[in-house]
Amino acid sequence: MHRLIDLKRVAVMMVASVLLSFATAAISDSTVVEGSKAAGMDKGGCVAPQMDMRRNHMEYLKHQRDEVVHKGDRSSKFALAECVNCHASKDKKGHPVPVNAKDQFCDSCHDYAAVNITCFQCHRKVPEEK
Amino acid sequence: MSFFFALLFILASLVFVVGLTLKIIQYAKTPVPLKIVTTPAPVTKSGVVLRMFREVVFFESLFKSTKWTWIFSWVFHMALLLVLIRHLRYFIEPDAVPAVVWTLIELVQPFGMYAGFGMVLGLVGLFLRRVLVDRVRYISAPSDYLMLLMLGFIGFSGLMMTFVVHTDIVAIKQFFTFNGGQLPADFPLIIHLSLVALLMLIFPFSKLLHVPGIFFSPTRNQVDNPREKRHIVPWAKALEEEQN
Amino acid sequence: MAKAEFDVPELQEYVDVPEVEEGTMAHVKSFVVTKPEHNTDLGFPGELVEDWHDKALEKLDDLRGRYRSLQVFLDACVKCGSCTDKCQYFLSTKDPKNMPVGRQDLLRKVYRRYFTFAGKYFPKLVGAEDLTRETLDDWYNYYHQCSQCRRCSVFCPYGIDTAEISMAAREILDSIGYGQKYCNEIIAKVHKIGNNLGLPGPAIENTLEGLEEDMVDDFGVEVKFPLDVKGAEVLLVTPSADFFVEPHVDGLIGYGKVFHEAGISWTMSTTASEAGNFGMFIGSYENMRRVALRVREAALELGVKRIVFGECGHAWRVAYAFLNTLAGPFDFLDPDYPVPQHICEFTDDLIKEGRLNLDKSQNDDMVLTFHDSCNVARATRMGDKPGGQFEIPRNVIKAVCNNYVDMHQDTIGEKTFCCGGGGGLLTDDLMETRVNGAVPRMTALQNAMNEKGVTHMAAICAICKSQFTKVLPYFGMEMDQIVSVHQLVGNALILTTQKSEGDDEEQENDD
């Protein structure tokens, strides 16, 4: 009898935990609040809203890499070169500063969050000279 | 929401730190009237440090006992340690520590990422053992299951954020380093943080006291030298003086 | 074959971990003190007090403030289950309250209910329960089915020692007048007469004279068994059973021959005619100290320079680990020797120095194994290295016997199983518990008999010897298969001026 109650208790907890795990997985589509500054970025700004880019830029870049390398499809809007083009600042003399240099666009957050970037071991870190 | 979580974490941290400190003071102040070390035991202080190290890092006694429990709990704890070290990045400003430390924190990131799986795996093993082995089921109270579930969901929601639905970690760091960041309203994050706060709240009142407890366990931390050195505590001494 | 009022478990090839079966040992209740003086002599109320509920909680609160072990052990258990298959009493009774953690939880659930936040406000959640009369009786029944052997503490990741919990529980029970007859009667006897068996001085003297006469008759040598001799070098404190029953007394003869051959003057004492100290079993520091002080008094009174303890497990724990605390400092003794010394350390030193003439072949009629007594194995040391408590007795046995083998590795050394009768359980009213508790050791012994031809098992503990003498027949073995280590030493030791009998057999075997 005692064992039966035990099993029942365990079963209830198992079900509860499964439900909770579904919930965790399902409700996690975060969106940017309508009318916020970040949403404004849509209009001709970045390739995606700021809040989206902050969370998912690594996925977009990785996805784009796979599209290009595996399928030869270069139509994706997510290209690292484009990031660099817009986000590399210029020093006093007007020369572009590498995006991964200290306190620059990439580095400032990546260093802050202790994430190593290896992109620029191969890729360009300043805009292409025209 | 950020305001709520700020309050919650201030409260949780207070309870955690104060509660744990009080417990540690209680343990430290309670006398050990007799030498009760489990032998064979080291006969020197450094030997005891080594024994404690093996106990805390390798779970020596548990290893002697049952390999299944050992493997699950060891994997869980070591993974948890890596994960915790990985989380330091949310609380430390890069400029506030020597560059070496920050480099180490950077280096541990990938290990900590995958350690999350080890953590959850270990917990699943421990949970299954608790349910399936009749002896362990007999000694389990609801809190024993809930504790595993809670840790499991902390791990699971963390893995979700690492591998499936990312959150804005820069904002989180700004929140936790009092830089006015707003917590992103992401569901896994809410679950994750709520459970962590709950864990901190119950820490000083639960079996999680095994963490400080092990260091105060007389059967493990005493030097085996009763013949060489007389061991006497104040209340026993008082008894002696009163009777002589 | 002894007859029993309970089912005697049959020995199997292995001791399997059984499925839990609740309540199988709930009916076993050691006799409660009936004569109030057995309690009052120890400083406890004569019978169960009216307000036992509050008094018990008060005592629990007091104890957790005085013993860090109790406080930490009550808090730290995570219910990992590591200990659940380690107790000899659980393994054969299947009663989950005989699992170390099950036993601890009887006290822990009450601690949680009254002294922790979680237990006060969420009792169901954390398994906290009120202190009821049923719980109190559970305490009594199950804390008197623990031999305090510490086997569980070896395997606990936090070193939680159920012995500490059961000692605390027994002290609580004593403090409310719910004491166990066996232990308390014995302690009262020690306080009054001087030893567990209640042997008065003249009776001991008589026994020792008898032994001296036997020595002259058997060997033609005047081996002395001195009592209360002032100015002797060594005070020997030995369990009173050594004066009284087989095979203990053969051990005593062994000690006497060793001292004689070593040429070291020695004496026993009527004041300290008991090495055992049941004060430990009931967790009472005060009673343990009172009993231990007899040794100090005797040593001072007789003006000895060294103290040596005879073969007794829990006595060696009190002597080795507690004596210095309870009755020290012993700065009046010879600082060149540890205080106290174990008789095995003493004999081992003499063997190493080559001062004993040993004829191993005298023990050739036996194939021996050694039962590590729980208290010696897990609570003490011999010699100056950890683990000496395993090596030194074995070295002694191997020096006096040609045929020695160990039992299975998982049943010796620090993993040794209790004989089943330790910790204040060596009483007939706990026979069911004792016989069940002996099963793992009996299984290992039987395997050693079948596989390695073992005929005898040596021990260095009076309780082990008494327990095995009684329990072996339940399993179809002979009661005299248990021997004292110093009985073996005595057999092999050729006294210098001994009547020759086996001169032709004198050459030593070299292996």
> Is C502 near chain B, with CB under 8 Å?
no
Q: Give the closest-approach CA distance of A61 to chain B in angstroms.
A: 14
Cβ contacts from B onto C, under 8 A: 216
Q: Do A24 and B160 touch (CB under 8 A)?
A: yes
Question: What is the pLDDT confidence band of residue C411, given thresholds at 50, 70 and 90?
Answer: very high
| Mean pLDDT, rounded, for C201-216 | 93
Q: Do A30 and B131 touch (CB under 8 A)?
A: no
Question: What is the pLDDT confidence band of residue A44, given thresholds at 50, 70 and 90?
Answer: low
Q: Which residue of B has its CA nearest to A17?
A: B149
Chain C from 310 to 339: CB within 8 A of any B CB: 320-322, 324-325, 328-329, 338-339
Q: Give the closest-approach CA distance of B183 to chain C in angstroms.
A: 31
Q: Which residue's structure tokens are 């989380």?
A: B87
Chain C from 7 to 36: CB within 8 A of any B CB: 17, 19-20
Q: Give the closest-approach CA distance of B19 to chain A in angstroms.
A: 29
d(CA C316, CA C300): 20
Smallest Cα–Cα separation from C36: which of C50, C49, C45, C46? C46
pLDDT at A97 over 70: yes
- Structural domains of chain A, count: 1
Tens-digit pLDDT profile for residues B107-138: 999 999 999 999 999 999 999 999 999 999 99
DSSP characters for A9-38?
Answer: HHHHHHHHHHHHHHHHHHTT---PPTTSHH
Q: Do C386 and B42 touch (CB under 8 A)?
A: yes
Q: C492, C359 in Cβ contact below 8 A?
A: yes
Is residue A23 a part of any domain in this protein? no
Question: What is the pLDDT confidence band of residue A27, given thresholds at 50, 70 and 90?
Answer: very low
Is residue A17 a part of any domain in this protein? no
Q: Which residues contact B35 (CB under 8 A, 6 or more apart)?
A: B222, B224, B226, B231, C321, C322, C325
pLDDT at C26 over 80: yes
Q: What pLDDT sits at residue A32?
A: 32
Q: Give the closest-approach CA distance of B107 to chain A in angstroms.
A: 8
Q: What are the chain B neighbours of A23 within 8 Å (beta carbons)? A: 187
Q: Do B39 and C381 touch (CB under 8 A)?
A: yes
Q: Which residue's structure tokens are 């327990």?
A: C467
Q: Mutate which of A55, A58, A60, A109 to disrupt the B interface (most B C-beta within 10 Å)?
A: A55
| Mean pLDDT, rounded, for C172-182 | 97
Q: Give the closest-approach CA distance of B83 to chain A in angstroms.
A: 14
Q: Which residue of A has its CA nearest to B85?
A: A114
Tell me the ipTM for this assembly.
0.95
Question: What is the pLDDT confidence band of residue A73, given thresholds at 50, 70 and 90?
Answer: confident
Question: What is the pLDDT confidence band of residue C122, given thresholds at 50, 70 and 90?
Answer: very high
> Is C340 near chain B, with CB under 8 Å?
yes
Q: Do A28 and B188 touch (CB under 8 A)?
A: yes
Q: Which residue's structure tokens are 């709930």?
A: C26
Considering only CB atoms, B173 lies closest to which of A9, A51, A113, namely A113
Q: What pLDDT sits at residue B119?
A: 97
| % of chain A at pLDDT higher than 70 | 65
Helix, strand, coil fractions of chain B, as percent rounded to 5: 75, 0, 25
Q: What pLDDT sits at residue C369?
A: 98
Smallest Cα–Cα separation from B184: which of B196, B171, B166, B195? B171
| % of chain B at pLDDT higher than 70 | 100
Q: What pLDDT sits at residue A2?
A: 54
pLDDT at A29 over 70: no
Tens-digit pLDDT profile for residues B60-103: 999 999 999 999 999 999 999 999 999 999 999 998 999 999 99
Chains touching C (at least 3 CB pairs under 8 A) are B
Domains within chain B, CATH numbers bracketed: 2-243 (1.20.950.20)
> Is C62 near chain B, with CB under 8 Å?
no
Question: What is the pLDDT confidence band of residue A82, given thresholds at 50, 70 and 90?
Answer: confident
| Mean pLDDT, rounded, for C334-363 | 96
Tens-digit pLDDT profile for residues A49-58: 888 888 999 9
Q: What pLDDT sits at residue A50?
A: 81
Is residue A5 a part of any domain in this protein? no
Q: Do C158 and B217 touch (CB under 8 A)?
A: yes
Q: Which residue of C has its CA nearest to B220?
A: C159
Q: What pLDDT sits at residue A90?
A: 82
| This prediction's pTM | 0.90
Q: Give the closest-approach CA distance of B201 to chain A in angstroms.
A: 21
Task: Spell out which chain A residues touch chain B, with contact meaning CB-CB distance below 8 angstroms.
Answer: 3, 6, 9-10, 13, 17, 20-21, 23-25, 27-30, 51, 54-56, 58-59, 109, 111-116
Q: Do B152 and A28 touch (CB under 8 A)?
A: no
Q: What pLDDT sits at residue A102?
A: 86
Q: B86, A113 in Cβ contact below 8 A?
A: no
Is residue A24 a part of any domain in this protein? no
Ranges A16-30, B78-92, B195-209, C375-389: which has the least confidence:
A16-30
Q: What are the chain B neighbours of A113 within 8 Å (beta carbons)? A: 89, 169-170, 173
Q: What pLDDT sits at residue C462?
A: 96
Kindly state the DSSP code that residue C426 receives in the 8-state scheme. -
Q: Do A28 and B160 touch (CB under 8 A)?
A: yes
Ranges B224-228, C190-194, C254-258: which has the least confidence:
C190-194
d(CA C98, CA C146): 8
| % of chain C at pLDDT higher than 70 | 97
Q: Do B143 and C105 touch (CB under 8 A)?
A: no
Q: Do B31 and C19 touch (CB under 8 A)?
A: no
Question: What is the pLDDT confidence band of residue A38, given thresholds at 50, 70 and 90?
Answer: very low
pLDDT at C209 over 90: yes
Q: Which residue of B has its CA nearest to C99?
A: B135
Is residue A67 a part of any domain in this protein? yes
Question: What is the pLDDT confidence band of residue B221, given thresholds at 50, 70 and 90?
Answer: very high
Tens-digit pLDDT profile for residues C272-329: 999 999 999 999 999 999 999 999 999 999 999 999 999 999 999 999 999 999 998 9
Q: Rounded to 5 degrees, what angle do the CA atoms C101, C431, C411 make? A: 55
pLDDT at C466 over 60: yes
Tens-digit pLDDT profile for residues C418-458: 999 999 999 999 999 999 999 999 999 999 999 999 999 99
Q: Which residue of B has its CA nearest to A26?
A: B187
Q: Give the closest-approach CA distance of B185 to chain C in angstroms.
A: 31
* Cα dihedral across residues C241, C242, C245, C248: positive or negative: positive
d(CA C368, CA C488): 10
pLDDT at C128 over 50: yes
Tens-digit pLDDT profile for residues C1-16: 445 578 899 999 889 9
| Mean pLDDT, rounded, for C91-97 | 96
Chain C from 423 to 442: CB within 8 A of any B CB: none
Question: What is the pLDDT confidence band of residue A118, given thresholds at 50, 70 and 90?
Answer: confident
CA B50 to centroid of chain Cα atoms:
20
Q: B160, A24 in Cβ contact below 8 A?
A: yes
d(CA C436, CA C433): 5
Q: Mutate which of A61, A106, A112 to disrupt the B interface (most B C-beta within 10 Å)?
A: A112
Considering only CB atoms, A55 lies closest to which of B142, B168, B187, namely B168
Ranges A71-75, C120-124, C205-209: which has the least confidence:
A71-75
Considering only CB atoms, C380 lies closest to which of B33, B39, B231, namely B39
Considering only CB atoms, C127 lies closest to which of B141, B217, B219, namely B141
Q: Do A13 and B145 touch (CB under 8 A)?
A: yes
d(CA B112, CA B104): 12
Q: Mutate which of C60, C70, C80 to disrupt the B interface (most B C-beta within 10 Å)?
A: C80
Neighbours of A105 (CB within 10 A): 18
pLDDT at B41 over 90: yes
**If you average pLDDT over every residue of chain B, what do you get?**
95
Is residue A129 a part of any domain in this protein? no
Tens-digit pLDDT profile for residues C361-397: 999 999 999 999 999 999 999 999 999 999 999 999 9
Q: What pLDDT sits at residue C381?
A: 97
Q: Give the closest-approach CA distance of B125 to chain C in angstroms.
A: 12
| % of chain C at pLDDT higher than 90 | 91
Is residue A9 a part of any domain in this protein? no
The boundaries of the domain holding residue A45 are 31-121
Q: Do A112 and B170 touch (CB under 8 A)?
A: yes
**If you average pLDDT over every residue of chain C, what do you get?**
94
pLDDT at A23 over 50: no
pLDDT at A37 over 70: no
Q: Do A6 and B153 touch (CB under 8 A)?
A: no
pLDDT at A85 over 60: yes
Q: Which residue of B has its CA nearest to C388?
A: B40
Q: What are the chain A neighbours of B167 within 8 Å (beta carbons)? A: 30, 55
DSSP characters for B32-91?
Answer: --S--PPSS--SSHHHHHHHHHIIIII-HHHHHH-HHHHHHHHHHHHHHHHHHHHHGGGT
Q: What pLDDT sits at residue C260?
A: 96
Question: What is the pLDDT confidence band of residue C187, given thresholds at 50, 70 and 90?
Answer: very high
Is residue A2 a part of any domain in this protein? no
